[in-house]
Structure formats: C-alpha cells, structure tokens
Amino acid sequence: MPGPLEKYSRQVLFPEIGEDGQARLIQSQVVIFGCGALGTVQADALCRAGVGSLRIVDRDFLEESNLQRQTLFSEDDVQKGLPKAVAAEQRLRQINSQVRVEGLVADVNYKNIDQFVEGTHCILDATDNFETRFLINDVAVKYSIPWIYGAAVGSYGLSMTVIPFETPCLRCIFESLPPAGISPTCDTAGVLAPIVNIIASIQVAEAIKILTGNSHCTNRKLISFDVWKNCWKEYEIANARSEGKCPACQLGRFEFLEGKEGSTVTTLCGRDSVQISQGGGNSLDFEQLAKRLRHWGTVHFNQFLLRFNLDHYEIAVFPDGRGIVKGTKDTKVARSLYAKYIGS
Amino acid sequence: MPIQVRIPVQLRTLTNGEEVVSASGTSVLEIIEDIEKKYPGIKDRICEADGKVRRFVNIFVNEEDIRFLDNLKTPISDADEVSIIPAIAGG
C-alpha cells in the first residue's frame, strides 16, 4: 500500500475501515476534554490512527504522580513544569506529524465550551469531574455531536457512547450531579493504569467507528469493568429514552450549558482565594470526607466547616458543598484542586 | 436462596470493603432494606428521604434498569443479581 496511506496500512486492511474509512478519518476533527490518564491514552491512539485534527483541552500542570498512568509524559516534562496540554501537543507532533494537534490550556466552563467544539465530529470525555461531563453532554446534544463518556477510579471504570437523539444521553441515565464531596476521586482513592487504558481504548474504538462512518457498530449499552474484582458487565439502557423526560435530549433544556446547574467560581478580591459554589445543597458528611482526605494533608472540622491543608493551599468546605480554596487567585488551579480532593 | 448485590466503590466503606453482599427479599426494596439491616446507612446513600432512588444512582436487576421494570417494586427471584451503579468521575 504505497503513498499516503502506508502509515495506516494495518488499519486500512481491516475491511470495516478500508481506504474509504481512512479517508474519512483523515478529514475528521476530534476534541478531547481532559489530558490526564484517559486523555493521554485517547490522544496517543487517535493521533496514531490518523485523525485529521485533534484538539486537547486541559487546565492542569504536570506532577510527578501523573507518570504512573499518563502515557504521553516523561520525567523531563514534569521537571519543566509544563501544562499537560502543551506537553501532550509536543509529544503528539513527534508521533504523527500529519495530524493537526492543538493543545489548549483552559478551564472548560459553560461560557467557553461552545468555542472548543465548533466543527468537531466527535468529543471524547477524559475529564476528572461530573460537572464538565454534564456540560459536555449538554453541548453535544445541543449541536448533535456524538460523544463518549468514560470514567475510572480505583480498579473500576464505566463507559457509554452517546449519539444524540439516537441513543440515551448522559442525563437520560444519570439525571443529576451527585452532591459534591461524596464520590471517590483518583486523587483520594487512587487508580490503576490498566483500567484507565481499557476505558480509554473502548472510547477510542467507539470514536473510530463513528468517524469512519460505522456508527451503527457502536456499543449501545453501559459497560463496566473491574480489573481487580475480575468483573465485566453490560447494562441495557436502550429504553432510557422511552420516558420522554430527559431535560437535555428530549425537553431541550441545557441547564449546565446555560449556567443554571453546576458551580459558580468567583475570585475573592484581595484574599488570594477562589470560591466554588456547587449546586445541589445537600449536606456533606464531613466525617467520611475527613477520613479520605487525612492521607493527603491535615484536616480539621466541626459541624459548620471542614478545613483541609495541602502544601501551601487550604480548602475550606461548607456543609452545602461550597468551597473556598486559599492560596491562589487562579480559578483553574482552584477548580482543579476542588475536583481532585473534594470531588465535583 | 440469597440474592447477590453488587456494591459500587462509593459505598464499600459501608460494607467493610465488600464488593458483593448477600441479601434476601422478593423485591428490590426488600433487598435494599435487608442490606440496610446489615450495613446501616447504606439505604440513605441509595434512596432519597422520600424513598425514591437517588437521581444519580441506577439500579439494575441483571442487565435491566429498574426504572423500566417496576422501580423499587421490581420482583426478584432466586438467580437474579442486583447491581447499584452510580456515575463515577475519575479520569
């Protein structure tokens, strides 16, 4: 197979892709939200598969503890203190110079998400919090862009493919955000690289099907894997649209995209602090949260407030989930710390 | 015969780390009430104060979502497996 397709010959030989499928892939545009464990595996695979353009949006900087699972990065990148989106872009250009790679250092929110998805054919979820996932769901449904949910923590992961108006969307299945602070995160409960690789690989396979014109082959179930408990399961979700009550894909109410649901982030002037107000208003179990956080820093709490000190930051959390991150004016840093340790 | 109930990562602090627990009952509600007896506090994490399943949690009997069966009244028979699946966020 001489010529421009030689690089992709093993994929082109796969009859369901073929030269036509590869030609479609080369013209496709993909956005990955998040460039941590899931995002690096996805970006690596899609770059090698030869998508036309790959946009990666992430708000974080590299830390040494990322290297155990975030496959695009090296010790050198950590030493340079690079943002993940920048380090990923550099590495991906070395892997496949034919792909237009764009690494954007940004905190995705309801005001800016539209601009990131313009012209895209598929969105891959690699974020570390619920709120951005619900936001991705809203924007994907609004513009009818297929997207693939994936998440992993510990040894366990979930994935689901959303083809708006054809398959259930995330809000058909999970109607609302869990209250802040009750869910384990990779930074408090740990995560194994193999589960991340499995979930990210499923997401990439789904994306390749969609981008090569094989949407009919996508998985229509909610899939769960646990690599430690040796359990793989599929759950039937096809009839989740039958109720006709989904706020996003059936009633056309994009509450996250309109900023009505989710958090509000405010820099508190002159205080070197950022406030994160999380919707929901459920009362947090400080005892459980303190138990999780004690591994990482010092925790003090009474019935009104929990204070968590980590390096030179302090996160104060109120029972309704509102948090104040002290030690930074940067909303990206504050949202990232809140998502990692409290869980949003 | 006891029914196997799959407990998600989020709730395993309440089940002493157990990922699968046994329960008896003839409906999903009876199963949840039975595990509540053994692991107090777990029902509150699955159901709202008014008794409905929390909106960010799904319960499946075998492969099927109970929302499209008979919700908490969904009957359970011997070989069934109940899975509690909340959304997860890591990545």
Of residues A39, A157, A182, nearest to B10 (C-beta)? A182
Arithmetic mean of pLDDT, A260-276: 79
Q: Which of A113-122, A125-134, A170-179 has the highest mean pLDDT?
A: A113-122
Q: List the domains of chain B with CATH numbers.
A: 3-86 (3.10.20.30)
CB contact under 8 A, A184 and B9: yes
Write down the mean pLDDT value for chain B: 93
Unique residue bearing structure tokens 């905190």: A107
CB contact under 8 A, A130 and B89: yes
Distance from C-alpha of A325 to C-alpha of A343, rounded to nearest angstrom: 13
**CATH number for domain A3-241, candidates 3.30.1490.100, 3.10.450.50, 3.40.50.720, 1.10.260.40:** 3.40.50.720
Q: Which residues of A touch B83 (CB under 8 A)?
A: 233, 235
CB contact under 8 A, B55 and A175: yes
Any A CB within 8 A of B85 CB: yes
Give pLDDT tens digits for A156-186. 999 999 999 999 999 999 988 887 777 888 8
Q: Which residues of A touch B15 (CB under 8 A)?
A: none
Distance from C-alpha of A181 to C-alpha of A286, rounded to nearest angstrom: 9
Q: DSSP for B47-66, please give it.
A: B-TTSSBPTTEEEEETTEEG
Q: Which residues of A touch B13 (CB under 8 A)?
A: 288, 291
Any A CB within 8 A of B18 CB: no
Question: Are A3-241 and A264-342 in the same CATH fold?
Answer: no
- Output the pLDDT for position A282: 62
Arithmetic mean of pLDDT, A285-293: 90
Question: In the structure, what pLDDT confidence band is assigned to residue A49 with cuts at 50, 70 and 90?
Answer: very high
Beta-carbon-side half-sphere exposure of residue A200 (alpha carbons within 13 Å)? 29
What percent of chain A lies above the pLDDT cut of 90? Answer: 68
- Please say whether the beta carbons of A26 and A50 come within 8 A: yes
- Output the pLDDT for position A216: 97
CB contact under 8 A, A235 and B65: yes
Best probe of the A interface among B4, B12, B88, by most A CBs < 10 A, is: B88
Question: In the structure, what pLDDT confidence band is assigned to residue A280 with cuts at 50, 70 and 90?
Answer: low
CB contact under 8 A, A186 and B91: yes
Beta partners for residue A325, in sequence order: A274, A315
Structure tokens at A341: 């340790």
Beta-carbon-side half-sphere exposure of residue A101 (alpha carbons within 13 Å)? 23
Per-domain residue ranges for chain A? 3-241, 264-342
pLDDT above 60 for A279: no
Q: Which residues of A touch B54 (CB under 8 A)?
A: 178
Q: Which residues of A touch B63 (CB under 8 A)?
A: 221, 233-236
At B44, which amino acid appears? D
- Output the pLDDT for position A322: 84
Nearest-by-CA chain B residue for A158 = B88
Of residues A34, A154, A178, nearest to B87 (C-beta)? A178
Cβ within 8 Å of A, B 27-46: 45
CB contact under 8 A, B91 and A189: no
Of residues A34, A151, A239, nearest to B88 (C-beta)? A151
Question: In the structure, what pLDDT confidence band is assigned to residue A1 with cuts at 50, 70 and 90?
Answer: low
pLDDT above 90 for A206: yes
CB contact under 8 A, B89 and A183: yes
- Please say whether the beta carbons of A292 and A189 come within 8 A: yes
Q: Which of A70-74, A267-271, B54-58 has the highest mean pLDDT?
A: A70-74
Nearest-by-CA chain B residue for A36 = B91
What percent of chain B lies above the pLDDT cut of 90? Answer: 77
CB contact under 8 A, A234 and B83: no
- Please say whether the beta carbons of B5 and B38 come within 8 A: no
CB contact under 8 A, A173 and B83: no
How deeply is A242 buried, as exposed, middle or buried, from its count of CB atoms within 10 A (0-12, 13-18, 19+)?
Answer: exposed
Q: Which residues of A touch B19 (CB under 8 A)?
A: 226, 229, 231
Arithmetic mean of pLDDT, B43-70: 92
- Output the pLDDT for position A269: 66
Exposed e or buried b for every residue in A150-181, given b needs 16+ CB within 10 A? bbbbbbbbbbbbbbbebbbbbbbbbbbbbbbb
Q: Which residues of B touch A189 (CB under 8 A)?
A: 9, 90
- Output the pLDDT for position B80: 94
Any A CB within 8 A of B70 CB: no
The count of CB pairs under 8 A between chains A and B is 107
Q: Does the domain spanning A264-342 belong to CATH 3.30.310.10?
A: yes
CB contact under 8 A, A153 and B89: yes
Distance from C-alpha of A145 to C-alpha of A163, rounded to nearest angstrom: 7
